[in-house]
Amino acid sequence: MSWRTVVVSRNAKLDYQLGYLVIRMESTTKIHLSELSLLILESTAISMTVYLLSELNKKKIKVIFCDEKRNPSSELIPYYGSHDTSAKIRNQISWSKLIKDSIWTEIVTEKIRKQSVLLKKLKKQEYKLLNQYISEIEFRDQSNREGHAAKVYFNALFGMDFTRAADNSINAGLNYGYGILLSIFNREVAANGYITQLGLFHDNMFNPFNLTSDLMEPFRILVDGLVYHLNLKKFEHDEKMSVLRILEREVGIEGRREFLSNAIRIYCKSVFDALNEGDSSQIRFNRDEL
């Protein structure tokens, strides 16, 4: 089982040799692809061979490319993640609005529940209001309890002056963590043979990741809690490495402990089963108390 996350932060040449990722800097490091789960390229001074990219793609290893500010900007996604991709996409197109709305209602409810659990753990009394919002959720969240909960939740975590639109270290940390989560969900969507553009609730013509934006919602709270505890005053290399530690976290799902990436795999598969069989009770959320 792949488990390693590798971050290359400076000038390097990367290539492929006999099953290994070869990283050439002052010294040479070799990592077998069977061990590699995620490769993050933080520097624009990195060069790599197309042969290596092709092998990483075959092994479904997620590759994230960063911009000149070392923030995630793009990723490597295969065209075909499953042998029956064409059939899977036809199924995805035919998912009924009723079942998509039902699944979205479950996802939103779980997201607010996890937000409430985190606030309660941090002794923030606003968790009681979030519990009230949960009891008020309508089908497809037509009254936008998610939006109301988000405002209460982020103000409780980071102060009444905090907004998600502000340019600060907290938002930089949140966005970086969300970007990493998004890439893992993109990998799972592609590996299961679906496409990321067709969402359940998100339907922005300019968003290539509508489906993954839907699926990842309940997992954002893991990033929120991590950023809260880091108490960020700046967001540079060391802080990014601290956020990346979220990938080492184990969470509870289906009665056992799993690394986060494996829990996401189980969760995504359960959502696709629920969509294809029209049964939202099949969804398997992680049930940690954060």
Residue 243 and residue 177 in contact, taking contact as beta carbons nearer than 8 Å: yes
What is the maximum span of the chain, computed from C-alpha positions, in angstroms? 59
Q: Which residues contact 207 (CB under 8 A, 6 or more apart)?
A: 197, 199, 213
CATH number of 85-282: 1.20.120.920
15 forms bridges with which residues in the sheet?
Answer: 22
Residue 184 and residue 38 in contact, taking contact as beta carbons nearer than 8 Å: yes
Q: What is the pLDDT of residue 60?
A: 87
Domain 4-76 indexed as CATH 3.100.10.20: yes
Across the range 24-35, mean pLDDT stands at: 95
Q: For residue 56, which of 70, 28, 71, 35 has the smallest C-alpha distance? A: 35
Q: Report percent pLDDT > 90 for the chain.
A: 88
4-76 matches 85-282 in fold: no
**Domain residue ranges in the chain:** 4-76, 85-282
- pLDDT, tens only, 207-266: 999 999 999 999 999 999 999 999 999 999 999 999 999 988 999 999 999 999 999 999
Average pLDDT, the chain: 94
Stated pTM of the model: 0.89
Q: What is the pLDDT of residue 287?
A: 82
